[in-house]
C-alpha cells in the first residue's frame, strides 16, 4: 500500500470512529459539575467543542480547574462514561 492510500485509509477509519459520537458531551463534563469551559450545546441539545481543532492539551473547567484534553480513543477501555457511544462499541 502506498503512502497516499495508507493516509486515505487512516482518514476513513478516523471518520468512522468520529461518526460514533452521539454528541452527549459526557467526555467533556456535560453530566458533571465541572464541564469544560469550551463545551457548548446547540438548539437540539447536542454538545460540541467551541475549539475542536485546538482542543487537545491544557484546558479549564467552568470553575477554572485545569485538565489535559486527550483523544477519547487514547483512553481505550478506560472510558469512564457508560453512556458514551465509544464505550458501547469498545
Q: Which residues contact 41 (CB under 8 A, 6 or more apart)?
A: 25, 30, 47, 48
Measured between alpha carbons, how far apart are the two ends of the chain, in Å?
27
The answer to the question of residue 3 being in a domain is no
The answer to the question of residue 52 being in a domain is yes
Full domain range(s) for residue 54: 23-89
Domain count of the chain? 1
Q: What confidence tens digit (pLDDT) does each residue in 29-59 have?
A: 898 889 999 999 999 999 999 998 899 999 9
The answer to the question of residue 15 being in a domain is no
Q: What confidence tens digit (pLDDT) does each residue in 61-83 have?
A: 999 999 999 887 777 666 777 77
The answer to the question of residue 45 being in a domain is yes
pTM of the model: 0.73
Amino acid at each position: 500500500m502506498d503512502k497516499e492510500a495508507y493516509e486515505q485509509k487512516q482518514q476513513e477509519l478516523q471518520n468512522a470512529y468520529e461518526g460514533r459520537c452521539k454528541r452527549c458531551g459526557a467526555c467533556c463534563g456535560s453530566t458533571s459539575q465541572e464541564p469544560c469551559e469550551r463545551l457548548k450545546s446547540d438548539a437540539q441539545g447536542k454538545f460540541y467543542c467551541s475549539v475542536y481543532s485546538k482542543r487537545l492539551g491544557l484546558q479549564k473547567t467552568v470553575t477554572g480547574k485545569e485538565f489535559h484534553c486527550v483523544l477519547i480513543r487514547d483512553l481505550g477501555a478506560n472510558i469512564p462514561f457508560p453512556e458514551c457511544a465509544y464505550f458501547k462499541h469498545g
